[in-house]
């Protein structure tokens, strides 16, 4: 009996991340591997230190390639089905860190086709609008303008279609049925789509490293089954846990339930209101009880958000944890810490987003990598 | 028990065309409909007079639209899997005639993607080469350069992908399984492809009239189920019988069996050799017997080719038929008539093909309709 479900289109229940490693047949990112990364990056990103990125396939081979001078490239993406929230943004923040440290190309696929295909009652115009907005959000993260290509499937299709068709030829319905749970009622666009998500893993004759939430892993399993038939490398990936919803660790942030998430366009007032009202607390029912019994940081969403990303200082986080456990730190005070962190982060982000309007086209069309990509046809 | 099989990828056995009308639920092109066409075209094309184009869906509605001034457009195509033979060419000759008579736009889809997906062990480079050669063959037919757009799926995909995705969203695996006989082993490119073949029926907000061999009908059945959901018209079609193979009426010309067909690049010597050696004869075993018993034009491939297309003069054909039946015309003499007709036709065709090299780009890129199409994105 599975108590949780994890597919690219459905995440349900409290995810047992250790079980997922077994189920998907991936490897833990262990101390040894972290040390090996740190040898090259000097510091370790908070999301690596805290095991947010916790599982991988072939990350060791990526490091082999890097150390041998062959190099690698990064690939990630976004399905533009709505406004982006903080949970959507963090993988891009992490990917940018990897790019900075390893000086590699980043390809970001905007799967406008897939989001249109999977969502009922959505208009193509809406998907287009969200794609533009999301691209600006991603641009605001500050990727290297010479080494980053952001593309929409619906536009870049002309440069990749022959390779997409080659990939599609190697995948049959049995496979996508087994891997993605497709049914006879699944539309033929969705059935075809895995070929589109796989193609960027073949943008270079190097290994692709894909930082993504673990729900995307099924695509890479299919890619790894077929890549070598075309003399491309099997994709490597590092999987992250999902930032829990404000409303609790068993939930996933969802754009359709705005109170579960904090969106990238929210201001301090709105952030404060949401965190106070909805952030699930591990504290006690009254101040008196809390002072006496202490809180439980393990189930406290505010603490978990600090741990995931917002308090990168290990010592400070440790102190917050201790103080909360002992009842010295009250729930309201813990929430205030998170509110300040998130507000500052988003204020800076929103400033960057305004500036990004001036250079977003570098990622899409005019930057060094973008220009090269528009001049390349993948056959 | 079906004794014959007709799908876009398989035609087996002696086709019972009357049964196909029942099986596919189409209508006969009857005398009344022919008269209605003739009212506009003055003459009737030999392939209409002789019931080579014998079945239709909504041809009457196309004529309604034409008479009301709304108009219609023509759509046909070619899968570039090899050299073209005469059987491949005739639908284009007929489509050109319709264009001349009705002064309408013609869209010709080159399904390079589908041919790559369906053929095992074929290289993309080969498909590309055949596509170029086939496009030149089609250009040689002499379509109106201002009103004709020839496009390869792999190139034009960029202008149609959003609409393709919309179409794909309306079709599920159950449907393509039932209509095309797709299986769990079918690759996901083939499963998706029907959306590509349907999209040109939506190039104009008018009715598409599709002249095609009846084996392509399954695509139009799917189109007709979904078109009105997008406020497009249901496609109309006229179905042709298939030009029989040289080797007999139960066979289909096949590029993989060169002796069954005459290719567009053959010269008189080669044509003569093939027709003498392979054209299935309805004559008797000896001249004496033939003079005495006469031949059977019904099963004689040379006679059938003259009837299909190569002897458009009804009186001359009638005389040939009578003379053959009575034994006055010998098999060799009948073959000579066909050889002369086919040789002259192909000699002229080959001259036109040389000339077409100068203007093939009008159909692809520079002609009035082609320019308009490259400036249009279908969403």
Site from A121, A154, A164, A165 to mutate, B interface, most B CB atoms within 10 angstroms: A165
For the four alpha carbons of B223, B225, B227 and B229, in that order, the dihedral sign comes to negative
pTM for the model: 0.93
- A217: which residues sit within 8 A by CB, 6+ positions away? A24, A26, A237, A239
Of A251 and B228, the structure prediction assigns the larger pLDDT to B228
Which of B165, B172, B187 minimises the CB distance to A185?
A: B172
What is the per-residue pLDDT for A5? 66
Cross-chain residue pair B116–A176, CB shorter than 8 Å: no
Picking from B160, B186, B187, B188 by the largest number of A CB atoms within 10 A of its own CB, the best residue to mutate is B188
β-strand pairing of B236-240 with B53-57: antiparallel
Which of A117, A176, A185 is the closest to B168 by Cβ?
A117
Q: From the list B116, B174, B192, which residue is nearest A192 (CB)?
A: B192
ipTM value of the model?
0.92
B230 and chain A: CB distance < 8 Å anywhere? no
Q: Which of B116, B168, B185 sits opposite A188 (nearest CB)?
A: B168
Strand ranges (E), chain B: 5-7, 10-12, 27-28, 53-57, 72-78, 106-110, 148-152, 207-213, 236-240, 244-245, 248-252
- Chain A contact present for B92, CB below 8 A: no
The DSSP secondary-structure symbol of A45 reads: -
Mutate: best of B187, B193, B199, B378, partner A, most A CBs <10 A: B187
pLDDT at A120 over 50: yes
Q: What's residue A1's pLDDT?
A: 45
pLDDT at res. B1? 46
Q: What does the pLDDT read at residue A12? A: 72
Q: Taking chain B, what is the end-to-end CA distance rounded to the nearest angstrom?
A: 44
Judged by CB atoms closer than 8 Å, whether chains meet at A192 and B188 is answered as yes
Q: Please answer yes or no on whether A172 and B186 come within 8 Å at the CB atom.
A: yes
DSSP H/E element including A150: strand A148-152
> Which stretch of DSSP H or E encloses residue B275?
helix B268-278
Instruction: Specify whether the CB–CB gap between A239 and A56 falls below 8 A.
Output: yes
Q: Do A174 and B189 touch (CB under 8 A)?
A: no
Chain A CB within 8 Å of residue B113 CB: yes
Q: The tokens 């009008």 sit on which residue?
A: B362
On whether the CB atoms of residues B90 and B243 are closer than 8 A, the answer is yes
Q: Is the CB of residue B183 less than 8 Å away from at least one CB of chain A?
A: yes
What pLDDT does residue B4 have? 64
DSSP A379: -
Q: Is A143 helix (H, G, I), strand (E, B) or coil?
A: coil
Phi–psi pair at A299, nearest 5 degrees: -110, 0
Q: How far is A225 from chain B (nearest CA, A)?
A: 15
Report the alpha-carbon distance of residue B166 to residue B65 in Å, rounded: 26
Report yes or no: A178 at the B interface, CB cutoff 8 Å. no
Nearest CA distance, A357 vs chain B (angstrom) = 25
Nearest chain B CA: its distance from A372 CA (Å)? 18
Q: Is B119 on the interface with A (CB under 8 A)?
A: no
Q: Does B189 contact A168 at a Cβ distance shorter than 8 Å?
A: yes
In chain B, which residues have their Cβ closer than 8 Å to the Cβ of A186?
172-173
Query: Quick check: B114 contacting A, CB < 8 Å?
Result: no
Determine contact, residues A201/A227, Cβ cutoff 8 Å.
yes
B124–A154: do the CB atoms touch at under 8 Å? Answer: no
Q: Which of B155, B169, B183 sits opposite A187 (nearest CB)?
A: B169
Quote the pLDDT of residue B31: 97
Identify the closest residue of chain A to B127 by CA–CA distance: A162
Percent of chain A having pLDDT more than 90? 88
Q: Kindly give the residue spans of alpha helices, DSSP state H, lying in A142-264.
A: 153-169, 173-180, 188-192, 194-198, 217-226
Count of CB pairs separated by less than 8 Å, A with B = 113
Residue to mutate among B80, B114, B169, B378, with most A CBs inside 10 A, is B169
| Two tokens, residue B139 | 């250009």
Tens of pLDDT, residue by residue, chain B (379 residues): 456 666 777 767 777 888 888 888 999 999 999 999 999 999 999 999 999 999 999 999 999 999 999 999 999 999 999 999 999 999 999 999 999 999 999 999 999 999 999 999 999 999 999 999 999 999 999 999 999 999 999 999 999 999 999 999 999 999 999 999 999 999 999 999 999 999 999 999 999 999 988 888 899 999 999 999 989 999 999 999 989 999 998 888 888 899 999 999 999 999 999 999 999 999 999 999 999 999 999 999 999 999 999 999 999 999 999 999 999 999 999 999 999 999 999 999 999 999 999 999 999 999 999 999 999 999 9
CA distance B295 to B325: 5
Q: Minimal Cα distance from A171: which residue of B?
A: B187
pLDDT tens for A296-349 read 999 999 999 999 999 999 999 999 999 999 999 999 999 999 999 999 999 999
Nearest CA in chain A to B173: A184
Output the average pLDDT for chain A: 95
**Which domains can be identified in chain B, with CATH numbers?**
5-245 (3.40.50.620), 254-355 (1.10.240.10)
3-state secondary structure A300-331: CHHHHHHHHHHCCCHHHHHHHHHHHHHCCCCH
B117/A165 Cβ within 8 A: yes
Strands B244-245, B248-252: pairing kind: antiparallel
């Amino acid at each position: 009996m599975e108590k949780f479900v994890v597919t690219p289109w459905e995440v349900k229940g409290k995810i047992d991340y250790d079980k997922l490693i077994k189920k998907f047949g991936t490897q833990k990112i262990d101390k040894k591997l972290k040390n090996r990364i740190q040898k090259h990056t000097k510091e370790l990103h908070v999301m690596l230190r805290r095991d947010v990125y916790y599982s991988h396939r072939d990350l060791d081979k990526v490091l082999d390639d890097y150390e041998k001078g062959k190099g690698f490239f990064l690939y990630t993406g976004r399905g533009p089905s709505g406004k982006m929230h903080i949970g959507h943004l963090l993988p891009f923040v992490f990917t940018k860190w990897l790019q900075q440290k390893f000086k590699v190309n980043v390809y970001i696929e905007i799967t406008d086709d897939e989001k249109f295909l999977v969502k009922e009652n959505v208009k193509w115009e809406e998907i287009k609008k969200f794609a533009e907005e999301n691209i600006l959000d991603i641009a605001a993260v500050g990727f290297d303008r010479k080494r980053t290509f952001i593309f929409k499937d619906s536009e870049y299709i002309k440069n990749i279609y022959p390779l997409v068709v080659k990939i599609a030829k190697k995948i049959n319905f049995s496979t996508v049925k087994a891997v993605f749970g497709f049914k006879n009622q699944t539309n033929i666009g969705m059935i075809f789509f895995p070929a589109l998500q796989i193609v960027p893993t073949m943008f270079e004759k190097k290994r692709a490293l894909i930082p993504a939430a673990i729900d995307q892993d099924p695509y890479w399993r299919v890619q790894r089954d077929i890549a070598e038939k075309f003399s491309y490398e099997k994709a490597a990936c590092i999987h992250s846990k999902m930032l829990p919803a404000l409303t609790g660790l068993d939930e996933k942030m969802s754009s359709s339930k705005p109170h579960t998430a904090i969106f990238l366009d929210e201001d301090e007032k709105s952030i404060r209101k949401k965190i106070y009202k909805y952030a699930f607390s591990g504290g006690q029912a009254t101040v008196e009880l809390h002072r006496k019994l202490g809180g439980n940081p393990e189930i406290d969403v505010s603490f978990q958000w600090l741990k995931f990303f917002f308090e990168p200082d290990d010592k400070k986080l440790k102190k917050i944890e201790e103080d909360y456990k002992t009842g010295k730190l009250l729930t309201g005070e813990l929430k205030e810490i998170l509110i300040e962190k998130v507000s500052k982060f988003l204020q800076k982000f929103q400033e960057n987003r305004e500036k990004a309007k001036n250079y977003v086209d570098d990622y899409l069309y005019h930057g060094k990598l973008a220009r090269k990509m528009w001049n390349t046809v993948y056959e």
